[in-house]
Amino acid sequence: MKKILEIKHLVLAGLLILGLASCKKDDNGGVGGTSGGKGAPTITSIRTINKTTNDTVTATYTTYDSKGVPTTTTSQNPGTQITAFDSTTVTGKLGNYYAVIGANLGSTTKIELNGVSIYFNRALNSDNTVIFNIPSTVPYVQPQANTIVITTLYGSVTYKFTVLPPAPTIISVSDYNFVEGRQLTLNGSGFSAVTAVALKGTTATATIVSKTDAQLVIKMPATTVSRASLIFSYTSGTNTLQAGTTQEFVDIDNNYSIFAKDAFQNSWSDNSWASPSGVVTGPSVSGTKSLVATYPAGGWQIEGFANYYPSFPYDAAYKFLTFWVKGGTVDHVLNIQGDKMANGYGQNQTSTPVKVPANVWTYVKIPLDPPSATVPDNATTLNFWKTGTTAQQLGFFLKGQTGDVNETMYFDEVIFVK
């Protein structure tokens, strides 16, 4: 028994010595098996390590049916591909990967970009290379230090490296509609580098009133178009680039308005069932007035507008119905009504539904169908002239609910857009 215990002690001692040896710093100065020189770190360059491309490569596939008859299919542009790309750079973009090239980098413990410590994977390090990614938390608005600092067990090194601003991106806007001279506020990111704002497809340009990286205020010009997206010119390093928006902005004066600029337009008027209704001074998207609609508790109610003369004739040029609506105390669904829609103007709870969140302004943009189109109930498009090409009423129906309360909603900038 004693001999067995002595053997166990010898085995444990051996394992302890082996464990200490495995934790020992290696001869090159690394820790835990990561090699690295003991000298001060140096950086000779920074390089990109890959890029994505969309090319015109075609791929051909042949399949055979049960009788052995072949079918050949050719697919173009199979999609984004990552390809090798190794070039020296002194600038970097958010989200991209880069390689630091130098010496004595194997024991790197920290990487900082513009004063922000960023994550890196030590398993990808060598004594001559450190791989890093630029996260969105790194500041890029100038002036900045424009440096990368690498710290190792044996010192640190600073290298000039500029983080480029991202392309301007819109998250929300104060309004999607405008007239000449109206100011729009754009919220998002990347606006600090914007130098000019143009309207796509026109020679018109907006005036920059103020800007921060998160917000851009512009004054809109006169245009001859019904709607247009924006094109931003912005600086990125030594380059001037352009970026377009997916959002379209509507010139009110070049479209057909029911209500805009604080008043009914084109001979439209209030046609509601409950009071108060019509034009009121109060909540508004861009002015001081809007249209109020009252929905009594437990009622099956339609509130809306009418133009009995000269009425509103169908025109294929109109592509969308747009409007702003401010919700009530809880979320609701309104159904759009029209006297020339398939089910007419009344208590129709299956016509085009619109979700209206509580207590906030929501912008609604609905595609219009030609009269000949067949549109099912609860469609996300609107056939406003299905049974006749001269419409006289537009309304919004709210189904009553057990236990609900009196609701008040507001409408602004009700426009048929070309």
CATH number at residue 194: 2.60.40.10
The H or E element containing residue 16 is: helix 2-23
3-state class of 32 per DSSP? coil
Q: Which of 163, 187, 209 is the last residue of a domain?
A: 163
The verdict on residue 20 lying in a domain is: no
Cβ atoms of 409 and 356 closer than 8 Å: yes
Q: Per-residue pLDDT tens for 104-160? A: 999 999 999 999 999 999 888 899 999 999 999 999 988 899 999 999 999 999 999
Per-residue confidence (pLDDT) for residue 16, from 0 to 100: 33
The verdict on residue 66 lying in a domain is: no
Residue 7 φ/ψ, nearest 5 degrees: -65, -45
Per-residue confidence (pLDDT) for residue 72, from 0 to 100: 54
Q: Which of 163, 188, 209 is the last residue of a domain?
A: 163
The H or E element containing residue 286 is: none
Distance CA(212)–CA(190), nearest Å, equals 8
Q: pTM, whole model, 2 decimals?
A: 0.77
Residues of the chain with pLDDT under 50: 1-33, 52-68, 74-83
The verdict on residue 293 lying in a domain is: yes
Per-residue confidence (pLDDT) for residue 402, from 0 to 100: 66
Residues 190 and 265 in one domain: no
Cβ atoms of 417 and 320 closer than 8 Å: yes
Residues 239 and 265 in one domain: no
The H or E element containing residue 11 is: helix 2-23
Q: Give 70-82 as a DSSP string.
A: EEEEEEE----EE
Cβ atoms of 284 and 361 closer than 8 Å: no
For residue 191, the enclosing domain spans 169-251
Distance CA(80)–CA(159), nearest Å, equals 32
Residues 271 and 410 in one domain: yes
Number of domains in the chain: 3
Residues 271 and 343 in one domain: yes
Q: How far apart are the first and last CA of the chain?
A: 97
Residues in Cβ contact with 267 at an 8 Å cutoff, skipping those fewer than 6 apart: 307, 309, 310
Residues 297 and 377 in one domain: yes
The H or E element containing residue 391 is: strand 390-391
The verdict on residue 264 lying in a domain is: yes
Residues 157 and 237 in one domain: no
Q: Give 198-252 as a DSSP string.
A: EETTSS-EEEEEEE-SSEEEEE----SSSEEEEEEEEEETTEEEEEEEEEEEEEG
In this structure, what token pair is assigned to residue 100? 């630091």
Q: Report the CATH number that the domain containing residue 391 is assigned in CATH.
A: 2.60.120.260
Residues 156 and 201 in one domain: no
Residues 122 and 218 in one domain: no
Q: Which of 163, 180, 209 is the last residue of a domain?
A: 163
